[in-house]
Structure 1
Amino acid sequence: MAVVGTLAAASMAGLPPLVGFVAKEAVLAAFTDQPVVLAGLVAGTVLTVAYTARFVWGAFGTRPHAERTEPQPVPAAMLGPPALLAVAGLAAGVLAGPAGALLRPYAELFGPVPEHLALWHGPTLALGLSVLALAGGAALFALRGPLAPVLARVRAPVGGAQGYEWLTHRFDRLAIEVTSATQRGSLPLYLGTILLVLVVVPGGAMLAAGPWRQGVPLWDTPLQPVVGVVSAVAALLAVGARRRLTAMLLVGVTGYGTAMLFVLHGAPDLALTQFLVETATIAVFVLVLRRLPERFSARPLRRSRWARRAVGAAVGVVLAGLCLIAVGARTAPSVSRAFPELAVSEGHGRNVVNVTLVDIRAWDTMGELSVLVVTATGVASLIFQRSRTGPRPRRPRGPERPAQRGPQRPVWLRGGPTLAERRRSIVFEVVTRLLFHTIVLFSLFLLFSGHNAPGGGFSGGLVAGLALTVRYLAGGRYELAEAAPVGAGTVLGAGLAVSVGTGAFALLAGGSVLQSAKLDLWLPGVGDFYVVTSLFFDIGVYLIVVGLVLDILRSLGAEVDRHIEAAGKTERGLIVDPQGRRP
């Protein structure tokens, strides 16, 4: 134990040939051109040597008037870790040269490194200062007896323990004051604080730097400012809207305006995705609004409302400025310039956006897929009061009716008869019955053609999800179970397994993870064609998006319907039978 403690203390004091000596030499050599800092370092080293010697003498030394106690054996489990570190400190000091060669590339990441680690650099200034520090520390330790009365008369106003307690108490008090002022349980306060910090810190830095050195083209086509004005007006009207549905629709206008800007800028793939995402978002909002009041509350007051509008406008200006600065601050050529050529040569596709998602930056897409799965699980866990993996709800069977003469009324959707008459729309059911399969086929077309044309797994999955949404809106939760009799978790898991399995298969085939390969095939009547293996990754994306939409429909739609039916509550002025039958 004494050997381990002495080795560790000697390294801390900077005695050769331990690694502490090598590190101290490097630090002193780095500040030889800064006398003030160097003097502080030497003084600190003197004190370190003094209290290290005091520790070794107090712990392992023999004092004539001290009571002797028999040393107890230290268990190997407790002695092993410090012994390993102490021996490693000795070995690293002796092998300072090879260790420095291993660490040098990492240090050079931050700039040139003129010095190198070594146990002996020759007679240098750093060596002289190190010897001076060791001598000073030894002198302080030797004079500890004569200096003790002097130190005893020099007392601080507050003792160390009292000062520490006072400081921690003040920090605790400060934490309480800050928490009481900021953590009030008010979402507008939290959001306002975040946005104000965004305006003040990055916005202030933007104004102080003055980066406005070059002009910015306002538009590429005259239609772009028209779409921008419409989106801005919709955003302003959404702030002042009193009805939740009106505000939601106005926010949707801003999303569709963004999609139109993509179209006008020549990005059809992004525009298609934005249109689909905005439509799906509106559908989800409609489901959520069923459980919320029709109108917003009267709060906030008029003054605070104008203050919030001012904060929103300031945030918009700051973000727009930051975007312009980020675009104009590029000094090196963009890596995306090589994407079109790589998309054809390596990804075997002409749709650069899709090839980027499933090949060039497939790892990013894999991470986003994991986020989607976690999001779906989180949403469902907040809504479901029972297992999500149980059987799908079955259509309730009504009482047997006597046979009717004449032609029977056609049933367009099996779940339609389970709805109340006031909630049914025969026209909607007929249109859904006619278009559902076409929409699903169109989603598959987007999936398989997305590698060379606008589309892909994400867009195709959103289209299929919207088809399920239409089916649910037309026939209710039982119709959703008829359309998708499989669990949402199963679809999500299958999609993630297919995506991950594609990457693992590429690795097993001798390539890198998620590397694409071109398979040349031939079919009678079709002829020669090829399939890119990244298509299977895109199929996984398709399944995950469909599973996400299905999980949201069953959580915010079917499960909320079940809650309403179970509670017998009124929805839109219509009393729903707790047994799920038509009133």
Structure 2
Amino acid sequence: MLHGVILLPFVAAAIVPLFYKLFRRIHTGWFVLPVPLLAFVYFILSMPTIREGEAIQSTVSWIPSLGVDITAYLDGLGLLFSLLITGIGTLVVIYSIYYLSKEKEAIHRFYMYLLLFMGAMLGVVLSDNLIVLYGFWELTSLSSFLLIAFWYNRDHSRYGALKSMLITVFGGFAMLTGFILLYTMTGTFSIREIIDLAPTLPGQDMFVPAMILVLLGAFTKSAQFPFHIWLPDAMEAPTPVSAYLHSATMVKAGLYVVARFSAIFAGDALWFWIVSLTGLVTLLWGSYTAVRHTDLKAILAYSTISQLGLIMCLFGLGSASFYTGGADIALYTAAIMTAVFHLINHATFKGALFMVVGIVDHETGTRDIRKLGGLMAFMPVTFTFALIGTLSMAGLPPFNGFLSKEMFFTALLSVAEMDFFSVQSWSILFPVVAWVASVFTFIYSLIILLKTFTGRFPKEELGEPPHEASLGLLIPPGILALLVIVFGLFPNLLTHSLIEPAMQAILPTLDNVEAKHISMWHGFVPELWMTIGVAVAGILLYLTLKRWQRLYSYFPGSLSFSRVYDFLLKGSQRFSRIITDTYMTGSLRHYMIYIFVFLVLVGGYFLTRINPFERHGEVVFAEVSIYEVILTIVLLIAAIAVPLAKSRMAAIVLVGAVGYMVTLFFIIFRAPDLALTQMIVETVSVALFLLCFYHLPKLQKEKSSRGMRIFKLIVSGSVGLLVTLIALAVSNHQMFDSISNYFVEESYRSAGGKNIVNVILVDFRGFDTFLEIMVLGAASLAIYALIKVRDRTPHERKEER
């Protein structure tokens, strides 16, 4: 059943174009909607099984000789991500039905890409095999590239799509290398089997490289500093894509990998520091940078980067659970619980906000906060959803973001109690940086809410006031806003049903992993005073925003990692152009020289390595008849005469003579079928060459230096010598047992034919022959088409187009 759920989006993606063509009056989204909805219902029904500590598993054998099986494994962590993928996917499909016009947009392509992405994400979070996980991982990069570039006629869309794919695919290749190192150390591609062997891995030479490579993949996908630069440019995608990929699913794939592989690497101090500090830096940089932007989606993009850094930092802090091995374990598992809880909360309030921004853009035609204002009076429902989402993101009660932010502060304050990894000397850094980042989070939350919905409506900028969005656009963000409130007021609805099973899946080697009770009020604890300080400082800084915002012109100023990316990309293009122009001269002679020099070097090296001329016994040569001697002499004379020919016609005739001499050799060696084939090929080739070369100008004597002529002579002589040595080596050296005996024995018994050559071509290599015929058929059709096109006048060809 699990495989069916993963396969369902792919099957639907294949059918979408057909449905779009047959039912043009119906929006294709209505056909797509049941796919995520059915998958979501299936995962909801699986929750009781997972809550009992059991896992659902299904295996399909794929490449057993390499240990690569398509094993789908659903545990608490996989269930959490699957519910996010399918649940928010359902809302995004509903939203896109009303957001994208079926008359103006190629919606069949949109839904096909969206389903491909959905299936790929399900494959990532449900795969137990490393190679299968990697395959789905790269498919998410490819499908997201297609979604970001959906409006491919826009330069920014193409730029953002290319940027996201280059960075995430680079991380994917790094992660694949890490997976291979893990396989080398453990001998298995199964994640659960590797987790069982995890205690034996630290100390091995490949352990740290494997860790860093896996983290590279996770950091690039989850937009961690400094790989975060692709996410803001990806906002050129349609808003449903941003709400789905860049708030709830794709960017959280890296978090999934960190959570899943914590059981393998988290006992190491290097993992703790890399994950924690990278998350902390990303949290601060994302929130700080968000305040400088004026585009609503850009603000939300950097907000997403910041929130992803927050969750990543929590996973890093929670990795201390594996080091302590039971001592004060609740102190560190609380960080894992907070990460899981905030992962859910972020998907709800950020998904709602992206949809709200999409509504604002849809109704006003702009996302620039400098051109917006006063929309609260005209779009009260949208404003309500924005109010809920921004206050939750800012960490204010009674919304779910307040709860997870308080728990985040608790986890950071607990760092001071760690007495390992040399943490105590740096313990003050964590809560201070987090508090500063939270202040900037509060500021950009106020910017989104107040500059868009309050103040004076700029009629001179936007014209007539907008109206409230349609019900179809309001339902998806309304559901997410409702969940923000429900999970804020009743957070323990998720504690034992979803959060605790996810924690147990992240910490499979630890016993008694339990989620603590979540409550809104803990008394006047330091976390509460930190929240009050965030609100006070955030309001003051927002009110004085114009006075200190010039800070951004100094830091970061013109400095940007996007500039580094652009420099490297353009530099690599220039370097590639220089290298390509060096050898792509347009001369066929030069290309042949490159090929022949490479052949001589590689072939010569191979011959020296295997030493094929070392005799292992007496070599018996067959007798040479007078006919063979005569044919050989004639063949050599014809071959030598080819480069000395004064005209193309003479050269073609001499080449044909060489081919016909080979035909006579086949006759002498009693291979009539090969002789017939060779004769037909030579005849057709000579005829075609004569027809083609007849219309070319006469041969001109090549103007080249004496040194170049000598070099060409050496190359040609080397090729001839190499081929001669290979021919001699073949008769004297065998690296493998000959397959000829098998054909001799089985030709008549298995295929019923006495002509061994025919049996090989028709039976043993029937598919090869079939494909060769297809190639010849395709070439014949192409030639026929070219002839027909040439016969038509330009006017007739234009009319056909």
TM-score normalized with structure 2 length: 0.34
Higher helix content, 1 or 2: 2
Greater Rg over alpha carbons, structure: 1
